[in-house]
Amino acid sequence: SAVISQKPSRDICQRGTSLTIQCQVDSQVTMMFWYRQQPGQSLTLIATANQGSEATYESGFVIDKFPISRPNLTFSTLTVSNMSPEDSSIYLCSVPLGGQTFFGQGTRLTVV
């Protein structure tokens, strides 16, 4: 199994600012994923982050808005840039390992 530490667990931010979310995994993993879960909705994939390469973004998500870093095999960050109230969501990182996908505890973001 994998243990994922995601920080912060929650934050309230002013519109126009940026927030960086961190995920630390206790195992080395090639792929990490970032998801968004808007209120009352299910999870939507934002991007795939592989170590040593640019992140791959899903339709509707762009690097300028959601820059991602993946400096090594155990760590990744997602930044939510120039936030607006529509960015209020839960953001989750996840890793596939041993045939399963494990999720971080999520970051509950509220933009005011």
34 within 8 A of 68, measured Cβ to Cβ: yes
DSSP 78-112: EEE-S--GGG-EEEEEEEEETTEEEE---EEEEE-
Nearer to other proteins, 17 or 100 (CB): 100
83 within 8 A of 18, measured Cβ to Cβ: yes
Residues that bind other proteins (CB under 8 A): 31, 33, 41-45, 48, 92, 94, 96, 99-101, 103-106, 108
Nearer to other proteins, 43 or 73 (CB): 43
Minimum CB distance to other proteins, residue 10 (Å):
10
Minimum CB distance to other proteins, residue 16 (Å):
27
1 within 8 A of 99, measured Cβ to Cβ: no
Minimum CB distance to other proteins, residue 41 (Å):
7
